[in-house]
Amino acid sequence: MNKKSILVTGGAGFIGSHLVRHFVKKYQDKYYIINLDKLTYAGNLENLKDIENYDNYKFIKGDIKDIELVNTIFEKYNIHSVIHLAAESHVDRSIENPLEFVTTNIIGTLTLLNAAKKHWKNDDDNVFYHVSTDEVYGSLGETGKFLETTSYDPRSPYSASKASSDHFVRAYSHTFGLNTMISNCSNNYGPYQFPEKLIPLIINNIVNNKTLPVYGDGKNIRDWLYVEDHVKAIDQILHKGKYNETYNIGGDNEWMNIEIVHKLCDTVDEKLGRSPGTSRKLITFVKDRPGHDRRYAIDSAKLKSEIGWLPETDFATGLEKTVDWYLNSQDWLENVTSGEYLNYYKKQYEQ
């Protein structure tokens, strides 16, 4: 094949499916995209039905911890680069079962790094791109933003596992000469996000007249980034970024959790023809999550100045597009919430 093969891990998940779709459609003559996904509760091939028959796309069901499988993929498809998104990503689940996050997020990343080290020559232009999170930096006060130089201070088993995997990626760069890139992004939102995360959870519960759980006082602040803007940033970093560098990706879009919930209540009520204030009555403040970081905010100045990326989707537009997608995708929601999800969250989210 004349096309370069890119291995995308976790490509059936939320961010991964958007990234796979973007690369498959945009680079039909340049890249052959191999999507390796274990298809856990958050991975869903329905997310990619529109591209499953493209001739530059292949899906492989498998675990990134499977050493034999990963090495076979590198050999068979002559993998040129890796975009590594596969991870256990929900903080609540990491508090419940930290070991699962260690094995997937750390051991899985090491398995991929070892395969890259084995199959790539240091003088080639192969690159291992690791997609990470702003949570590795810890928590901010009322002012300031995370920089690429901010010291790591993870506060949850999830963020600790991601911080560790970041460090291993950098270590393989320094020790073995592997070409690497890391990006740390703020909170993503948009279509196809599994409804354990705040925005789809609240939308789904509003539709079904269920309790809207808000941790603590609801004043924890996050920087929100529309998922398609994140994918475009990854694309630009891969093609224009420098090897062995880190880039922060943020939306310049800080909101308190309770403000997000209020916006969603009012937007969904209006779209469903309900009386104003109907869904706000469903808001219930629940016991705060252990170690809940107070504020995240990303400084994307390096990405903007060196590469020229800017977020394109303002929050009002992105949130409305997201709400519309979930309201029009009730079959998708029913399918993904019919199994493990409801069992796991029954006590917490069904009151």
Catalytic residue among 37, 88, 134, 254: 134
CA 298 to CA 249: how far, in whole Å? 7
- One-letter amino acid for residue 153 of the chain: D
Catalytic residue among 31, 32, 137, 158: 158
CA 111 to CA 121: how far, in whole Å? 17
Catalytic residue status for 223: no
Estimate the crossing angle of helix 108-119 against helix 67-77, to 10 degrees. 40
Report the SS3 class of residue 80.
strand
CA 170 to CA 178: how far, in whole Å? 9
Q: Which residues contact 307 (CB under 8 A, 6 or more apart)?
A: 236, 237, 240, 241, 247
Catalytic residue status for 29: no
Rounded-to-10 torsion of CA 136, 138, 140, 141 = 180
Catalytic residue status for 134: yes
CA 236 to CA 247: how far, in whole Å? 11
Report the SS3 class of residue 233.
helix
DSSP character for 106?
Answer: I
Question: DSSP alpha helices (H): ranges in the chain?
Answer: 14-26, 67-77, 91-96, 98-101, 108-119, 157-176, 198-207, 227-240, 257-271, 301-307, 315-327, 330-336, 340-349
Query: 95, 22 in Cβ contact below 8 A?
Result: no
- One-letter amino acid for residue 154 of the chain: P
Residue-wise DSSP of 138-204? ----SS--B-TTSPP---SHHHHHHHHHHHHHHHHHHHH---EEEEEE-EEESTT--TTSHHHHHHH
Phi (first) and psi of residue 208, to 5 degrees: -100, 10
Q: Which residue has the tokens 């949570």?
A: 135
- Write out the catalytic residue numbers: 134-135, 158
